[in-house]
Amino acid sequence: MIKINLLSALILLCSFSVTEAQTVSIDRIEPEFWWTGFEETRLQLLVYGENIGSSRLHVDHDDIRVLQVISVENPNYLFVYLDISKNASPGSFPLIFTKGEQTLTAEYTLLEREGSETRHQGFDASDVIYLLMPDRFANGDPENDEIPGMIEGVNMEEPYARKGGDLKGVMDRLEYIKDLGMTAIWFNPIFENDMPYNYSIGAGFYHGYAATDMYRVDRRFGSNEEFVELIRRSQEMGMKVIMDKIHNHVGTHHWFIRDLPMSDWVHDQAVVGNTNYRTDVLMDPYASQADLNSMVQGWFVDEMPDLNQRNPLLADYLIQNTIWWIEYSGIDGIRMDTHPYPYKDYMAEWARRVFREYPDFNIVGEVWMQNAATTAWWQYNFPTQSGYNSYLPSVTDFPLWRSIVAGLNEDAGWDTGLARIYYTLGQDFLYTDPNLNVIFVDNHDLVRFMTSIGEDPAKYRLGLAILLTTRGIPQIYYGTEIMKAGGANDPDKRRIFPGGWPGDAIDAFTEEGRLALGEERNLPIQETFEYLRNIAEWRKEKEVIHFGALTHFIPENNVYVYFRHNEEETVMVIINGADEAGTLSTGRFNEFLEKYTAGYDVISGSKVDIGETVQLHARTAMILELR
């Protein structure tokens, strides 16, 4: 940590006035510092300051060469490319800028990369991811609720306003998350979002998807150093960390949007309007160019300028920003927001460059698509007609989410009820590796699962049992463990966690609080919490669930049976979606059952006879370890 603390004062920010009264200054250099020892030896520096453009740069260093110095339309920018030789040692060196008779010097530092087994581990189906929205999870430090000079403070009454949640709040509850059986945490974005708000039109930026500085943690959440500390502690406790990134857009108040380096840094909203959100046009063989342009170049919303990643200077800036955060913070993975919205060639190059430096890392792209075919199209090595390869390992499995929710709500039929899940998984031949899909019953953009299944506790448990035992990487949205409802609009899906705020009447982070909350809502909240925790805890050690094969049987009478199996173990999962208790004849499953005499139900803890029949309770899941 000493290294990191040294960094704050690295750049000598300086300015002078030349005789013609033209001020020249350096206000920022991004990235602020870098490292030696990357595969990619080229380093771009974005130098920003009054009239710094058209300066010359001199570096006197045996292992560092100036490759290119690029002036752009805006005289306040200078883009520099350095070559950092593989022999370069960590340390500081001066960047000497000259303009006319004048000289400006900035110290730049190259650090040694931190090797550690707990950093950059990636994530996979052995994990269960806990997704939380920093502003809405827990307010550990009310002192940072209002920051002088930042636009928005806290307003507990307004749904679209900030609530004051922060990194300290998460830090204080790492034990809680671990105790729930989670092995990874995905944070919605933590970058500075110092944006003006208008609650009456839903323009609030508590969610973090409108960055105003991509190198800085929002001070209302904490500091860069705190984020690094939070990651280090999570990893020490055995939990990985996934960072949310957005390369499609930033906020209108981003510092480089307010003083654009060049006109093609963003797409002109006056020309392209807003996106049509029709992500399917990207693989549609009949798509028009107009629709494609609208999809990729249109703005996501009025407050989020659409970045032009075909600008090579911007592309390098964004790629380096990613590498910087990975190296600086030690994160294990990235969840890329709106993955289909930037230029897809850029996204592939971005992923390729990340994996070149961090082969064990993982990225999940938010690909919110209509069906398995268009979702699978985004996963690496998909045989696209054009030869396009996304280099993206993990995709968000919206088709499975849709099937689980619909399947639990519908009456059983040929292709309705639990058969929906069966048919959706049957399309897995499309995926390069369906076990890398991130699967969920809800997230921060979806109606909460509790609401989508009509607040039915039995259906709720069925959904959780499926999520934690089928193929893929399960993701649990914060509050799911306490049956949080909500979802007519964005803030309703993102309500605060009870107990996360000083003075909350009920603290649902404790058993006592969950019991009280259950009484208040007349719901089995503590039982559901334990249900989720028990399966998640059991799952932690079950390689057969992580990487074992999946074999499923055609659902009959809305009973869906599947097996997870490997050389050592077989687990039988029975999902009874029917409203009645019943008897399941086991003859159909002989290919798995013939070797076994009994099953031990992970959920009830009891031994289950699997002779010729299994007794089923209404709308109940059984997870049987066969012996």
DSSP E strands in 133-266: the ranges are 184-187, 191-192, 213-217, 240-245
Cβ-based neighbours of 29, under 8 Å, separated by 6 or more = 11, 45, 46, 47, 48, 95, 106, 108
Nearest to 31 by CA among 327, 420, 317, 326: 317
Q: Write the binding mask 32 to 51 for Ca ion: x where contact by CB under 5 A, - elsewhere.
A: --------------------
Among residues 529, 606, 614, the alpha carbon closest in space to that of 575 is found at: 614
Is 138 an interacting residue with respect to Ca ion (CB under 5 A)? no
What is the nearest approach in angstroms of Ca ion to the Cβ of residue 135? 9
Does 500 contact Ca ion by CB under 5 A? no
Which of 63, 145, 537, 569 lies at the binding interface for Ca ion (CB under 5 A)? Answer: 145
Q: Does residue number 166 form part of the binding site for Ca ion (CB under 5 A)?
A: yes
Contacting range for Ca ion; rule: CB under 5 A; set: 100-108, 127-135, 161-169, 227-235:
161-169
Length in residues, the chain: 627
Which one, 166 or 433, has the nearer CB to Ca ion?
166
Nearest of 366, 358, 116, 161 to residue 247 by alpha carbon: 366
Stretch that binds Ca ion, among 4-12, 91-99, 145-153, 597-605 (CB under 5 A): 145-153
Nearest approach, Cβ of residue 544 and Ca ion (Å) = 42
332 touching Ca ion, by CB under 5 A:
no
* Least separation in angstroms between CB 13 and Ca ion: 29
Q: Among 303, 359, 307, 367, which residue's Cα sits nearest to residue 335?
A: 367
Q: Which has the closest alpha carbon to 552: 519, 575, 582?
A: 575
Output phi, psi for 51, to 5 deg: 55, 25
Q: Over 115-170, what HEC string results?
A: CCCCCCCCCCCCCCEEEECHHHHCCCCHHHCCCCCCCCCECCCCCCCECCCCHHHH
Shortest Cβ distance from residue 478 to Ca ion (Å)? 16
**Residue pair 131/478 in contact by the 8 Å Cβ criterion:** yes
**Residue 139 is a binding residue for Ca ion (CB under 5 A):** yes
Is 164 a residue that touches Ca ion (CB under 5 A)?
yes
Our CB check for Ca ion shows the closer of 191 and 401 to be 191
Smaller CB separation from Ca ion, 220 or 249: 220
C-alpha span between 35 and 330 (Å, rounded)? 13
Q: Is 224 in the site for Ca ion (CB under 5 A)?
A: no
Judged by beta carbon, residue 136 or residue 542, the one nearer Ca ion is 136
**Cβ neighbour number for residue 388 with a 10 Å cutoff:** 15
| Active site (catalytic) residues | 337, 366
Q: Is 27 in the site for Ca ion (CB under 5 A)?
A: no
Please, are residues 77 and 55 in contact by the beta-carbon 8 Å criterion?
no
Between CA 466 and CA 539 the distance in angstroms is 12
Minimum distance of Ca ion from residue 143's CB (angstroms): 7
SS3 232: helix
* Residue 144 in the binding site for Ca ion (CB under 5 A): yes
Minimum CB distance to Ca ion, residue 489 (Å): 24
Interacting stretch for Ca ion, rule CB under 5 A, among 142-150, 264-272, 496-504, 560-568? 142-150
Nearest to 12 by CA among 2, 26, 22, 23: 26
Segment near Ca ion (CB under 5 A); pick from 163-171, 287-295, 415-423, 433-441:
163-171
Strand partners, 77: 48
The nearest distance, CB 168 to Ca ion, in angstroms, is 7
Smallest distance, Ca ion to C-beta of residue 164, A: 4
Residue 137 contacts Ca ion per CB under 5 A: no
List of residues 6+ apart from 607 with CB closer than 8 A: 598, 599, 600, 601
Part of the chain binding Ca ion (CB under 5 A), chosen from 14-22, 134-142, 479-487, 522-530: 134-142
- Select 146 or 519, whichever has its Cβ closest to Ca ion: 146
In the structure encoding, which two tokens stand for residue 305, read together?
């300028």
- Number of residues near Ca ion (by CB under 5 A): 6
Judged by CB under 5 A, which stretch of 12-20, 159-167, 256-264, 581-589 contacts Ca ion? Answer: 159-167
The site map against Ca ion for 89-128 (x = CB under 5 A) is ----------------------------------------
Q: What is the DSSP string of 280-298?
A: GGGT-TT--HHHHHHHHHS
When the beta carbons of 165 and 474 are compared against Ca ion, the nearer one is 165
Interface residues with Ca ion (CB under 5 A) are 139, 141, 144-145, 164, 166
